[in-house]
Amino acid sequence: MDAASDFSFSGLTPDLIANALASVGVDPMSGLLALNSYENRVYQFVADDQKRYVAKFYRPARWSNEQILEEHAFTAELLEEDVPAVAPLILDGATLHHFEGYRFSVFPSVGGRAVEPGDVDQLERIGRQIGRLHAVARQGEFKHRKHLTADDHVSASLVTLKETSLIPENLQSAFWAIAEPLSEQLMHVDFSGFDQQRLHGDCHIGNMLLRDDLLTFVDFDDAMTGPAVQDLWMMLAGDDRQQRWQQLDALVSGYEEFCDFDERETQLIELLRGFRIIHYMAWLARRWEDAAFQRAFPWFAEQRYWEQQVLALKEQFAALQEAPLELRPNFNF
C-alpha cells in the first residue's frame, strides 16, 4: 500500500483546523461542517465576513506540493478565461498552506444542484462547458501532474487487489478468472496515437454544479494529462447502446463549438470504463484502513459487492469485444 493509505487524519481536530485557518487570517464563526470527501478532509464554515468557505486538508503523500500547485494554477487559469471553476483563495500570498504537518487550502463555497444524468438537452450544454475548459487546457501543459496510463490505473491496481484480503475466498477463482483477461486487454491500450492535453481528470456529473443557470466545475484533485475523451465519457449514462450514442452525439455537438474532437477517441470509451472499474476497487482497498472509508462504503467488504463486481467485469469484457461506439452509427430509427 502507498504511504498515503497508512496516514491517519485522527490528529485533525476542530481546534487544529481552527488554528490552521487562523494562521492564514481566516476566522470561522460557525461550526465546521464535514463535506463528502474521503481522499482528503473538507469542511464548510462561515467566516467573520459572513461568507461561506471550504477548507481542504490534503491527504499527505498523495500529491507533491508541485502537483497541488499545478492544479491550483490550472483552476486560476480557467477563471481568468471566464470558465466557471472553483479555485483556491490566495491568502498571505499563497494558495497552499502548511500547519503542524498538514497541507491545506481555502476555497469559496459554491452552492448548486447536481446535473441530471443522461439528459440529452443538458448534455449539449455540458459539452460546451467541457469544450471551453479544454480550449484553455490546450494552451499549456502539466509538468508535474500524472499522465493517464495503464500502468497506473491497471497494473498498480492489480497489485493492490492481489494483496487485499477483502475479496471473499469463495469468489477468488471467479474474480481472477475474469479480472486477469480483462486487465490483459486493458494493458495493451496505447495512448501515443492520440493528442495529450491537460484534463479535469475526474469529470463526472458529481463534479459539476448547476446554479443560476451556470455550470461550475469543482474538485480538480485528479487533474492529469491524457486524451480529451477522458473528460467526456463519464457523462454517458445507461447501458442502451442507442441511448448512449444519442448522449455522445449531444455531448460532442456542444463540445465542438469550442474544441475539435478526434472521433477516433470514441474507441477508448469502453477501455477507459474498464480502467475506472478496476482502479476504483483498488482505491477502496488501499484506503480501507481509513475509518472514513469503512463508514462510507460498508458494502465493500460484503460478499454481495464482490459478486456484483465479478458480473461487472464480465459485462465490461463483453463490451470490449463489441465495435466501439461511433458518432455516426447506422441505427434504424
Distances (CA, A) of 19 to 15, 23, 35, 99, 304: 6, 6, 19, 8, 44
| d(C-alpha 33, C-alpha 11), whole Å | 17
- 202: annotated active-site residue: yes
- 262: annotated active-site residue: no
Choosing from 119, 121, 151, 202, the catalytic residue is 202
To the nearest 10°, the Cα dihedral for 220, 225, 226, 230? 0
CB 320 within 8 A of CB 234: no
Give how far the C-alpha of residue 55 lies from the chain's centroid of Cα atoms, to the nearest Å: 19
Residue among 261, 256, 258, 209 at smallest CA distance from 230? 261
Choosing from 213, 219, 240, 260, the catalytic residue is 219
DSSP assignment of 115-171 equals: PPTT-HHHHHHHHHHHHHHHHHHTTS--SSSPB--HIIIIIHHHHHHHH-S-S-GGG
User: Which cell is 149 given?
Assistant: 496510463
Beta strand ranges found along the chain (DSSP E) = 33-34, 41-46, 52-57, 97-99, 102-108, 113-114, 197-199, 208-211, 214-217, 224-226
| d(C-alpha 179, C-alpha 313), whole Å | 6
What are phi and psi for residue 226, nearest 5 degrees? 180, -175
Q: What residues form DSSP beta bridges with 102? A: 99
According to the annotation, is 207 in a ligand binding site? yes
Q: Which residue type sits at 19?
A: N
According to the annotation, is 212 in a ligand binding site? no
Which residue numbers belong to the known binding site for Mg(2+)?
207, 219
Which residue numbers belong to the known binding site?
207, 219
Q: Which residues are catalytic?
A: 202, 219
